[in-house]
Amino acid sequence: MDRRTFMKSVGAASFATVAVPAASVRAEAAVSSDVHHRYDEIELGAGPTLTNEQLGERLMLLAEKNDRINLRQIGASAGRKDPIWEVKAGSGDTSVHIINQIHGDEPYGTEALLSIFRRLVDEDSELVDSILNNLSLTILPRVNPDGAMHHGDLSGDGNDQRLGSRENQQEWDSSYSHETPYYYNDSLHASDVSGYDPNRDFNIRPDFISKFHDDPEQWNDDGELTMEYKGHTLETCGARLTPEVNAITRSFLEADPDYAKTIHSQNIPTDPDSGDPTILSVMASYGPSHAEKAPFRDEDAPLASYANPFIDEDTSTRSIRLNTLVTQALDETAGPWSTYETGTRFGYASLWGSYLDTLCPLTNAAGMLYELPGQSGQVGTRAYYKKVEAARVGVLESLAAIAENPSLSHVDEDDYFDIPLKGGQYEYDASRGYQGRGGAGTR
């Protein structure tokens, strides 16, 4: 697949304007020996989810084994200042960008990605050779370290628990935006920590800085930012106020990906016919070529409210094929997951503060949203390793397929629209996109 050079239109100057510059910290033995001095000690139980310190240690150990993966720190979280790590692997022509745990209470992909990293580092096989020779991988295994470590006294017994939260830990600053964004939360769980939902903070303009570029009249009383872009009115745009989103954006543009994937968790989805819980919901991002099949299509509404007008037909088709492929792979290997035996579709509508809708059009990246069942704050560690395995299978199967056939032409795109829309609470808020759908904590 032809590589694109997005930098020719953005320019290096765009990156110089980002408020939090990227750190470039190599994973060398000298760094890993000092790892314990760079983290706060937290004793919040011995659950299966990794602390930020544990994740950093494991990544460094893997990077030290050989030169198959390259590890660097690309930024730091807003509150705790913990590292945001980026893993690069492979030297192929097809670029894939993956982010995980942008919501801190959605942890299952982290262990799954570590398992894949171990295979890439240790294994000599046709599968690993194909991935490393045909793909260039850029993977951010945890992009919201603050949310991953969020804790509070939920039970009121005087003892903190690791709860996890969607948001980072960052106070709103009036000097950076005219209004408090709707995706800002000033009362997280049982603590007094405040923060932003990072997956509402992206902007389709990678050089956008709120304090310079927006106008007070673009904000409504609900903290929603509207922006004109290439002839379309985009509602509920992100204001790019978080260092996490700035780091992800820089990583994405540098990778110049053909495919982009984001791993999430949601309220437990159900099969709409049986009512049984399902192992995942997928969501393809697509543009005008497939807009007639958008579940929230409204002929009287602007295209940008229910599809992405900046995603071309080829990119839409590859996105739909990718999501179909993963659903079929999970269906074929669902035996170990007992009741989690089917996949469902997360109905697509545009969300102008999200990773997929804002970044994918910039490089013609085919996008995928991968939603596993249950956030940590809702279900704790219930069926934890089943969900880790579901994430591992889905990511690995997609990488293997893209490495073998970058266009995924062997997948029938029509099968995607046969995947049932997920059941359960499923409402669409026209002004805020996915903010009101499926309950809190989706997408």
Question: What pLDDT was estimated at residue 36?
Answer: 31
**Domain over 7-436 is classified CATH 3.40.1440.10:** no
Question: What pLDDT was estimated at residue 429?
Answer: 45
Question: What pLDDT was estimated at residue 248?
Answer: 98
Question: What pLDDT was estimated at residue 25?
Answer: 33
Q: What is the three-state SS of 214-259? A: CCHHHECCCCCEEEEECCEEEEEECCCCCHHHHHHHHHHHHHCCCE
Q: Do the beta carbons of residue 152 and residue 189 sit within 8 Å? A: yes
Cα-to-chain-centroid distance, residue 42: 26
Question: What pLDDT was estimated at residue 278?
Answer: 76
Buried b (16+ CB within 10 A) or exposed e, 398-432: bbbbbbeebebeebebeebeebbebbbebebeeeb
Low-confidence ranges of the chain (pLDDT < 50): 1-46, 337, 339, 425-441
Helix (H, G, I), strand (E, B) or coil at 367: strand
What is the Cα–Cα distance from 133 to 128, expressed in whole angstroms? Answer: 8
Asked whether the CA dihedral 112, 116, 118, 119 is positive or negative, the reply is positive
Return the amino acid letter for 180: T
Helix (H, G, I), strand (E, B) or coil at 131: helix
196 pairs with which residues across the strands?
A: 184
Which token pair is 304? 């940008």
Question: What pLDDT was estimated at residue 16?
Answer: 33
pTM: 0.86
- What residue segments make up the domains of the chain, in order of their start? 7-436
